[in-house]
């Protein structure tokens, strides 16, 4: 125990030292994208990670725009992040619900959890060579007490001479990760959330499991006259084979059979300080029941619709985004195994958020109000009674609000205070799990400190 505490203290001291000794001018004191371009972070973001119109072009063109005329970036575009997080859940969790690693403190109660650190991460974020660039993050997780590859988006992009077409190829490890808007799942709100608080039992595949580095793939995309964006991609499981490096350090629990197609179409328009997008996206996947890697599969078809509006001026940024996803679940394998009551189910999720931030000299201050709704068929085997995670009624229906206030110092360092309020959880307002737990017992206060260098 003493060695673990010493290790924790040393890591914290190193992280704080990096933050203290870094240069304090705008060109060199911000993360690697800003160092590469010589621009402020606010040139590309409303508030990180939400992109504005310029930031979307920077991403679509492969993260390669640079103040340097050389075809490569030197020094390499590296950046770092350190996160610490505190979670308070309104009611204690059962014993053993939270892994007691060296980085957390769970000795006193089972509803207050502090991770120090939650994450220590390193980015390669910028140009590799010519039109080839990347956004790759590797993390040490205090939650898992281990290292893993996180978000990975490697792309090669070009533009036609008349500037009518921007096009490219992306290799990444989650459907929608290559998307430039903040309405699709990979970059949608909430941008941060507690890893230990209870969450609803059901989530469409594209919104949940596949956002955890379970698959990897490649896709082609094109943006025509800043108006029409089209992308097509194919993914496969990261369990083995050519895509396995994209899931390095992550346990593969969702095993997809063969290739999984993904598609994305969006219309976008910018006028003055306003920007609007509306589109659709989706995938089709054959997935083995959990724990199996061969035999019959279940079939999932996800179709989503999304929209985003932004208003950005010198001092004020306002945005509203939303998405609705419908998932058709065919339980060809799980029904035969006796794991589902129905041969097929329907599941839908709606989420929306409204953000406002005021840009001051030192950074930005503002917040977000979000609403979410999950609605699905009753299935008493798929969603059975179980402490905290189960459903007394066999229903996955859940709904609630997320309130968040943020202060972003110097456009890099972030303090976020988030409160999740559940109106319904796994089908009920009260005694939803069959063991006396109410939806409101899972209301969660989450505090995050993030430092980027």
Domains, the chain, with CATH or none: 2-452 (2.40.160)
* pLDDT score of 5: 40
**pTM, rounded to two decimals:** 0.90
**Low-confidence spans in the chain with pLDDT less than 50:** 1-30, 108
Judged on CB neighbours under 10 Å (0-12, 13-18, 19+), 369 is middle
Question: Considering only CA atoms, which of 256, 236, 255 is closest in space to residue 246?
Answer: 236
Written as six digits, the tokens of 303 are 């179709």
Q: What pLDDT sits at residue 3?
A: 43
- Is the peptide bond between 117 and the residue preceding it cis, with omega within 30 degrees of 0? yes
Cite the DSSP H helix spans in 169-245.
none
What token pair was written down for 84? 């610490």
* Residue 277 Cα distances to 217, 226, 355, 368, angstroms: 25, 11, 16, 19
Instruction: Please state, in angstroms and rounded to a whole number, the distance separating the CA atoms of residues 151 and 186.
Output: 9
Query: According to the model, what pLDDT value does residue 41 have?
Result: 77
296 neighbors 265 (Cβ within 8 angstroms): no
The pLDDT value given to residue 105:
67
DSSP 425: B
């Amino acid at each position: 125990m003493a060695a673990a505490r010493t290790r924790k203290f040393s890591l914290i001291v190193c992280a704080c030292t990096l933050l203290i000794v870094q240069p304090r001018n705008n060109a060199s004191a911000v993360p690697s994208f800003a160092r590469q371009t010589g621009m402020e972070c606010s040139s590309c973001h409303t508030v990180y990670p939400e992109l504005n119109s310029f930031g979307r072009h920077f991403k679509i063109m492969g993260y390669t725009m640079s103040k340097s005329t050389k075809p490569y970036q030197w020094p390499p575009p590296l950046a770092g992040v350190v996160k610490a997080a505190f979670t308070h859940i309104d009611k204690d969790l059962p014993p053993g619900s939270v892994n007691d690693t060296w980085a957390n403190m769970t000795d006193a109660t089972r509803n207050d959890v502090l991770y120090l650190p939650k994450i220590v991460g390193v980015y390669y974020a910028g140009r590799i060579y010519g039109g080839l660039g990347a956004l790759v993050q590797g993390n040490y997780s205090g939650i898992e007490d281990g290292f893993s590859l996180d978000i990975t988006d490697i792309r090669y992009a070009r533009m036609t001479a008349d500037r009518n077409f921007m096009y490219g190829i992306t290799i990444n490890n989650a459907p929608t990760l290559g998307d430039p808007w903040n309405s699709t799942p990979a970059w949608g709100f909430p941008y941060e959330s507690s890893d230990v608080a209870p969450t609803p039992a059901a989530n469409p595949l594209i919104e949940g499991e596949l956002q955890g580095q379970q698959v990897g793939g490649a896709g082609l995309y094109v943006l025509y006259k800043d108006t029409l964006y089209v992308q097509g991609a194919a993914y496969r499981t990261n369990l083995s084979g050519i895509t396995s490096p994209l899931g390095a350090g992550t346990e593969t629990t969702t095993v997809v059979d063969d290739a999984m197609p993904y598609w994305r179409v969006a219309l976008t328009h910018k006028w003055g300080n306003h920007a609007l997008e509306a589109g659709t996206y989706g995938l089709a996947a054959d997935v083995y029941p959990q724990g199996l890697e061969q035999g019959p599969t279940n079939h999932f078809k996800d179709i989503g619709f999304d929209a985003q509006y932004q208003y950005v001026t010198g001092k004020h940024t306002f945005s509203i985004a939303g998405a609705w996803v419908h998932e058709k679940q065919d339980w060809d394998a799980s029904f035969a195994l006796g794991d589902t009551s129905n041969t097929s189910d329907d599941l839908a999720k709606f989420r929306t958020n409204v953000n406002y931030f005021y840009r001051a000299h030192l950074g930005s201050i503002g917040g977000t109000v979000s609403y979410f709704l999950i609605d699905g068929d009753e299935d008493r085997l798929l969603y059975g009674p179980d402490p905290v995670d189960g459903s007394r009624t066999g229903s996955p229906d859940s709904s609630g609000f997320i309130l968040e206030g943020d202060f972003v110092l110097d456009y890099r360092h972030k303090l976020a205070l988030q409160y999740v309020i559940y109106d319904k959880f796994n089908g009920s307002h009260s005694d939803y799990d069959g063991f006396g737990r109410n939806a409101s017992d899972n209301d969660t206060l989450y505090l995050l400190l993030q430092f980027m260098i």
